[in-house]
Structure 1
Amino acid sequence: MTHPEPIKFEAFSAGQWVQQYQYKSFAPTPINREWLWQDPIINTLLEKASRALAELDAFTLIVPDVDLFIQMHITKEANTSSRIEGTQTQMDEAVMEAAQLAPEKRDDWTEVRNYVQAINDAIAELETLPLSNRLLKHTHEILMQGVRGEHKTPGEFRISQNWIGGSGLNDAAFVPPHQDLVLDLMSDLEQFWHNENINVPQLIRIALSHYQFETIHPFLDGNGRIGRLLITLYLVDKGLLRKPSLYLSDFFERNRNSYYDALTRVRESNDLIHWVKFFLSAVIETASKGQQTFQAILALRQEMDALIFGYGQRADNARILLKRLYSRPSISANDTAALLGVSHQAASALLKKLTEDQVLDEVTGYQRNRVFFFRRYLALFTD
């Protein structure tokens, strides 16, 4: 079997424009090959990113009940990644139940909760199956269930032409490859993830893979969200993260114009170096912020444990309630009663005590159907 020649970032040609019937589509260069670069800044960023990622991963070993807190990382990612695509849900709404929201907010909320389920299912699947196009399709199917994208062939690669920006093919900002190329390009991408005959660091592989995925745009809808989720799935699959604790959507949203610009620069001027530097910088900053969040979680948790120690007979129930709030920091009195197996009156009394101690905030102002937030904990994921 012959291997394609190694390709230098500096000499990369991103692809070519292909004339279709009444428009041109972009056919990207396949990426399953060895990659080289001369720019020393990439080596420095790669070293920093690898170290930051390893330090973040170490936290997931020392934080007790880490999976509770990972759920909040996942909720934040689902919310932020969906917001890049235009949903309006806020973090405090994302952790509520559908019934507690105004009806006009429920469609956006459903998209966010679908994304949470899609991430959780994909991570569970990775325990038995390697990362694959099949897994991405299954994740896409969950993401698109019962929402605005349900008519956009959930769980299937596209068999028609799509476009990005503009109202149609004639005024689009970018036209991805013709549908006839999608299967071959996605097959090349999948082989690249698992090709052991090439020496390419994992963080470089996923930087290239995210660019390539977004350029192929293999689904009719949801490509941005699946492509950003691909980054986390890849890092978990390759053992760089034991838990899905790193999500780049927050960085991409805060630097949205730079993110789109960096992807566009590859396609328009073959500038892969700029994209890789942008991507590695995103990993460095996000992993460092993730470490700070875990440190803040540990400090808050110690403070809560000390407080609840003084709750006497109610301490056990307060611990159970807090454990639930670490994974989803909003709750009603009815849910509290059901969780603890106590009367509504007892549940309300515990919530009142936690509110007086400034652990919880009641936000609705209603007499009935009140919702309580663990506001200080939620703030760790919104600041």
Structure 2
Amino acid sequence: MGSGTYGGCWCAKSLDPWLDRRLTHLYDPPMSYQPRFAITPALLSRVEAIAALRERIRSATVQVAWIPSLQKDSRARNAHSSTAIEGNPLTLEEVRALEDNQELVPSSTRARREVLNYFAALRHIEKNATKKRLVHEDLFRLHSIMAGQVMDQGEAGTYRKIRVRVGPHVPPLPDEVSGLMFELLEWWNTESVALSPVLSSAILHYRFENIHPFADGNGRTGRALALWELYRRGFDSNHIFSVDEFFWEDRPRYYTALQEVRINGDDLTSWLEYNAEGLQLTLERVWQRIQQLNAAKGDAKLVLRPKQEQLLNMLRIRGGLSPREIREGLGVSKQGAMDTLNPLLEAGLIERVGTLKNGRYVLK
């Protein structure tokens, strides 16, 4: 099966194409940050199972009419789970209500703001999902969105200037943060692409949390960065995975898994196995939800044309569009817009709201 060599010496044929690229090649980046890990049989088995599940899901979702439902569900689950890990008291149903702009029973302003910030951060990541190179300013922007108006200490969008402690972990000194983040960004922009996104997203997640570059909001931001990696590598091209749900369901294990890396001298092997388990479980749940939706809707399917996929993505990001905005966004005539809209309306994916004169189309 897999080799125990640190850095990932691939010694067996894998179902995952990113593993195949590194067959018999020692991962040894020429920079200060070098993640240390072993490819164990258990890890390799999970990565291969994830690859098979992902292909099954991709083959199903390109033809089905319920992608927007899964996307909306995933956003709510990610927002709820990641904020709940940090102590946010809102339930999943309350988070769903916030996304739909519904009034909530009395709850703290901070709790609502944290969730709304997370939704905004997800939209930001989705808009920039294809960005190939990320720099410090990208992290500052994401953190500003994520932590704005909810910081207990420090300033949103700037690296910390204070020393911090996270349970038993004492992150690097403030003066070291910028240099360590530069090294991490260089690794992320260069060497990480040689690894499976299953591995690179987990490595990024851990290293960010270990550096703890901001005074507050690092947990939510680090998990969002791991999700960004899955998006920009095309692993979750439809944005329907919610790995944070796995972390939330057993928070003590999540924190233990992070600490175990430090106890083992920054050996990431156990952390990669833990994350691969979570991603495999996430994909299994997505497949189950697909099956349930398919059963509920019968055999009727809608083959989404490129313009329809583009429109659904526009609505998901912007929330609602006027007929004119749709025509301009798609670059089509009035008739072309209606040809795109009508099948989506009939399938119940979108609906028109508002007056006849000022109506807008939104996801249903």
Q: Normalising by structure 2, report the TM-score.
A: 0.69
Q: Is 1:218 paired with 2:213?
A: yes
1:274–1:340 CA distance, 2 compared to 1 (3 A): same
Helix, strand or coil at the partner of 1:221: coil
One-letter amino acid matched to 1:191: E
Helix, strand or coil at the partner of 1:103: coil
Equivalent-residue separation in structure 2 for 1:37 and 1:43 (angstroms): 10
Give 1:53-132 correspondences, 5 Å limit: 53-64=54-65, 66-97=67-98, 100-128=103-131, 130-132=133-135
Of 258, 262, 265, the residue aligned with 2:260 is 265
1:36–1:219 CA distance, 2 compared to 1 (3 A): closer
One-letter amino acid matched to 1:341: T
One-letter amino acid matched to 2:257: A
Helix, strand or coil at the partner of 1:263: helix
Q: 2:312 matched to which residue of 1?
A: none
Do the aligned residues in 2 keep the contact of 1:7 with 1:35 (CA within 8 Å)? no
Give 1:38-57 correspondences, 5 Å limit: 39-57=40-58
Following superposition, the deviation at residue 138 of structure 1 comes to 1.1
Equivalent-residue separation in structure 1 for 2:256 and 2:229 (angstroms): 23
Larger radius of gyration: 1
Helix, strand or coil at the partner of 1:8: coil
Equivalent-residue separation in structure 1 for 2:35 and 2:165 (angstroms): 30
Do the aligned residues in 2 keep the contact of 1:158 with 1:219 (CA within 8 Å)? yes
Q: Is 1:299 paired with 2:313?
A: no
1:36–1:256 CA distance, 2 compared to 1 (3 A): closer
1:207–1:127 CA distance, 2 compared to 1 (3 A): closer
One-letter amino acid matched to 2:172: P
Helix, strand or coil at the partner of 2:54: helix
1:250–1:48 CA distance, 2 compared to 1 (3 A): same
One-letter amino acid matched to 1:107: R
Following superposition, the deviation at residue 239 of structure 1 comes to 1.7
Following superposition, the deviation at residue 187 of structure 1 comes to 1.3
Listed one character per residue, the Cα deviations across residues 128-169 of structure 1 (whole Å, up to 9, x for unaligned) are 5544443232121111223x327531111212212213xxxx
Following superposition, the deviation at residue 36 of structure 1 comes to 6.1
Helix, strand or coil at the partner of 1:203: helix
Q: Kindly, what percent of the aligned residue pairs are identical?
A: 24
Equivalent-residue separation in structure 2 for 1:215 and 1:34 (angstroms): 12
Equivalent-residue separation in structure 2 for 1:34 and 1:151 (angstroms): 30
Do the aligned residues in 2 keep the contact of 1:57 with 1:241 (CA within 8 Å)? no
- Provide structure 2 residue ranges, at least 5 long, that are not aligned to the other structure: 9-30, 302-341, 357-363
1:182–1:82 CA distance, 2 compared to 1 (3 A): same
Q: 1:341 matched to which residue of 2?
A: 355
Give 1:1-383 correspondences, 5 Å limit: 8=6, 32-33=33-34, 37=38, 39-64=40-65, 66-97=67-98, 100-128=103-131, 130-146=133-149, 148-149=150-151, 152-165=154-167, 173-196=168-191, 199-270=194-265, 271-302=267-298, 323=349, 339-341=353-355
Listed one character per residue, the Cα deviations across residues 321-343 of structure 1 (whole Å, up to 9, x for unaligned) are 96469xxxxxxxxxxxx92538x
1:273–1:161 CA distance, 2 compared to 1 (3 A): same
Helix, strand or coil at the partner of 2:97: coil
Listed one character per residue, the Cα deviations across residues 233-254 of structure 1 (whole Å, up to 9, x for unaligned) are 1011112221222221111111
- Provide structure 1 residue ranges, at least 5 long, that are not aligned to the other structure: 1-5, 11-29, 166-172, 306-315, 326-337, 343-373, 375-383
1:220–1:197 CA distance, 2 compared to 1 (3 A): closer
Following superposition, the deviation at residue 79 of structure 1 comes to 0.9
Do the aligned residues in 2 keep the contact of 1:81 with 1:249 (CA within 8 Å)? yes
Following superposition, the deviation at residue 211 of structure 1 comes to 1.1
1:109–1:294 CA distance, 2 compared to 1 (3 A): farther
Listed one character per residue, the Cα deviations across residues 165-208 of structure 1 (whole Å, up to 9, x for unaligned) are 3xxxxxxx221111111111111111222225984333222222
